[in-house]
Structure 1
Amino acid sequence: MRLDELLPEWHFRERHTIEIDAYADTVFRAVEDVTWREVPVFRALMAVRFLGRDPAGADARIVASMTKDGFAVLDRLDNELVIGSVTTPAFRATGVLPPDLPSDVFAKFDAPGHLKIGFNFLRRGSTVSTETRVWATDERTRRLFRAYWTVIRAPSGFIRRVWLHAVRERAENEPVFL
């Protein structure tokens, strides 16, 4: 299921794009292979979040690390990778949803006090985008997250742009074998 189907409505959203001259499979391989070392600002912010502990080694893949820390790959399509999580405003995994979360369970989840977070990488022609959407399951949770979003939105957007540049660097420099 596409992000548009999994999280068709949202309270908070951010989208970034980049042009990448590479085949779709090369782009998505790059998305999944980018490491924390290639997006150092993301790694630094995660270390702050984890009180100085490095949540993953510099050479660990970001997507793989995220799926070990409360996120799930919800779908892999020819032109879109969708990742999501259900969490609380304190960002503690709820234990409700497994790492191999079925996308239909994510789509239907609506228990009060939670945030549904979904993001994707989408390729249309040579344009690759990443979009983040957040849906609060109730008004109190929405108000709590709004304060956090006000603080984190700019750094989060910067991380996404650096991540997209790392994807482009990997994809456009991958050897092509004929």
Structure 2
Amino acid sequence: MELLDIYLPHYHFRERHTLDIRATAAEIMAAVERYDSTQDRFVRAMTLLREMPQRLIWMLGDAPARNRPPFSLGNFTDLGTIPDKALALGLAGRFWKLDYGQETVPDAETFMRFEQPGAARLVLGFSATELGDGLTRLVTETRVQCLDAGALRQFRPYWYLIRPVSGLIRRRVLKGIKREVCSIQH
């Protein structure tokens, strides 16, 4: 995944999923850009479950953040696009914290320079490769780089806890994009 190699060539954790779709790369990447993870009931339920402890804390206190919308693809920073072929999204912070510990990274340059001790950087990428005979392979890959040993110690158990659900979510995202593409074709 070309963009991931630009934005996060070195990483500690990686998850990759693929799905072949009968459509052009351009059609698929347009569907990727339109995709809204909040429309998937399973994704919403898993996000609410992940956020439940923090939301309970907010409800018991008087925190203004308690009305914050659930985590979604909208939390990511757009890092870059190769038209009709690939896109990369980034996050930085301490993802294992109840509130995700997300840091502000407004653009790709800030993401690349982000090196805060105790934190991690994450890139989520999508790419589409035409295989011939009208078939295209859609790939989603997530890479995480822990920026120091402390972050690695904190992130590792979190990764092994969330990875199975994360994998289910990624596969649902791929299937949702396929449904979107197929519904437009017909």
TM-score normalized by the length of structure 2: 0.79
> What root-mean-square deviation, in Å, do the aligned CA atoms of Structure 1 and Structure 2 show?
2.2
Q: Is the Cα–Cα contact under 8 Å of residues 89 and 125 in structure 2 kept in the other structure?
A: yes
Identity level (%): 31
- Name the CA shift for 1:39/1:22 in 2 (closer, same or farther; >3 Å): same
Alignment partner of 1:74 is 2:82: no
Residue 151 of structure 1 is matched in structure 2 by 161
The Cα of 1:106 is off from its aligned counterpart by 1.4
Task: Please tell me whether the aligned partners of residues 7 and 133 of structure 1 are also in contact (alpha carbons under 8 angstroms).
Answer: yes
Checking the alignment, whether the CA contact within 8 Å between 1:38 and 1:166 is kept in structure 2 is no
Q: Using the TM superposition, name which of 154-163 and 38-47 deviates more.
A: 38-47
- Does the CA contact (< 8 Å) of 2:17 and 2:171 recur in 1? yes
Alpha-carbon distance, 1:38 to partner? 4.8
Which amino acid in 2 is paired with 1:173? S
Deviation per residue, 1:57-96 (Å, 9 max, x gap): xxxxx9xx523x3x1111111211100011124222223x
Counterpart for residue 92 of structure 1: 101
| Matching residue of 1:127 | 137
1:54, distance to aligned residue in structure 2 (A): 9.0
SS of aligned partner of 1:43: helix
On the 8 A contact 1:47/1:54 being kept in 2, the answer is no
Runs of 4 or more, structure 1, over 6 Å off, are none
Partner of 1:44: 45
Matched letter for residue 3 of structure 1: L
Please tell me whether Structure 1 or Structure 2 has the larger radius of gyration of its CA atoms: 2
Which has the larger helix fraction?
2
The residue number in structure 2 matching 1:11 is: 12
The verdict on how the C-alpha distance between 1:17 and 1:112 changes in structure 2, with shifts beyond 3 A counting, is: same
Matches within 5 A, 1:22-37: 22-36=23-37
Alignment gaps of 5+ in structure 2: 56-66, 131-135
Are residues 112 and 54 of structure 1, via their aligned partners in 2, closer, same or farther at CA, if it must alter by over 3 Å? closer
How much has 1:20 moved relative to structure 2?
1.1
Query: 1-side partners of 2:92 and 2:68: how far apart?
Result: 23
Give me the whole-angstrom Cα distance separating, in 2, the residues matched to 1:40 and 1:123: 25
